Amino acid sequence: MKGPLKPDMPDGGCTKMLFLEEAFQYVKSLTDVHRTKMYTTKTKTAFVGLLTAIRAVQGIYNGYVGEGKPLKYLLTYKLSQDHLELFFGAVRAHGGSNNNPTVRQFVACFKRMVLRHAIKTTTGNVTPQVKAVDGSQPSHGLILQKDRGGLIKPSQSVIDICVHSERIFQKLLYVNKQRIPQGEGLPGAIAHVVLQDIGTKVFDSLGDHMLDTQPENNHVFALIKAVTRAYIKICMHHLVKEYNAEITGKRIRKSMHKLVLFKNQ
């Protein structure tokens, strides 16, 4: 289910839980041409599985989510088997045409996958950086509107970096006559300018932490560059989306599906 399951009603109830109950009763009422309930026929596997999954989610939610309980919300995607299916799909892909590996082949494949993704243990140095990026109070109403319980609020330093990046990006657009800038090194170049301009004016909480790191591994500078690159990437995607909309015109595929062929979309 898209989005978390959490109390969102005045009485502490959850609208999505009401939808799940309606879906349960609907699936349970389905019949075949002989008026036999589908969950009792020979093809009952899918229907019984869906009904069981709905009841399981309802049980987990009622037992663990709510006031005075350990969880504030429940993410149902975390309960799915997609992660295992993706993992075993990667294992089968390493075997080529052989999709039924032996134990020795599986162990060898798993070792290659671990080494390829370079799984590393985290250290305590990450904690100060997370605190520096995460702000305690949201500074914009849009953040409150989009927050569903797990959204990270940006700190004032992150906001300052984004504002300065936006100014540089707008200057670049003005010089380029509002045309989309080209080149893979654009985010890195803007990050370098932002670092020169406000490199010592943000992330004051990491001042002492910066002295404990090597010059070539400065966490403050790395954070500034990472925030700037991420923001410029979002700006570029937005510009390209607007540019494509101007070329293709109004998209009617979703609103006028039956007439879409006449518009060549």
3-class secondary structure, 138? coil
- Position 149 scores a pLDDT of 67
Contact 157, 202 (CB under 8 A): yes
- Position 263 scores a pLDDT of 53
104 pLDDT above the threshold of 80:
yes
Poorest-pLDDT segment among 1-10, 32-41, 57-66: 1-10
Instruction: Give the residue-averaged pLDDT of 1-6.
Output: 81
State how far the Cα of 94 lies from the Cα of 113, in Å rounded to an integer: 9
Over the stretch 170-187, which tens digit does the pLDDT of each residue have? 888 888 777 777 777 788
Over the stretch 8-19, which tens digit does the pLDDT of each residue have? 888 888 888 999
User: Is the pTM above the cut of 0.75?
Assistant: no
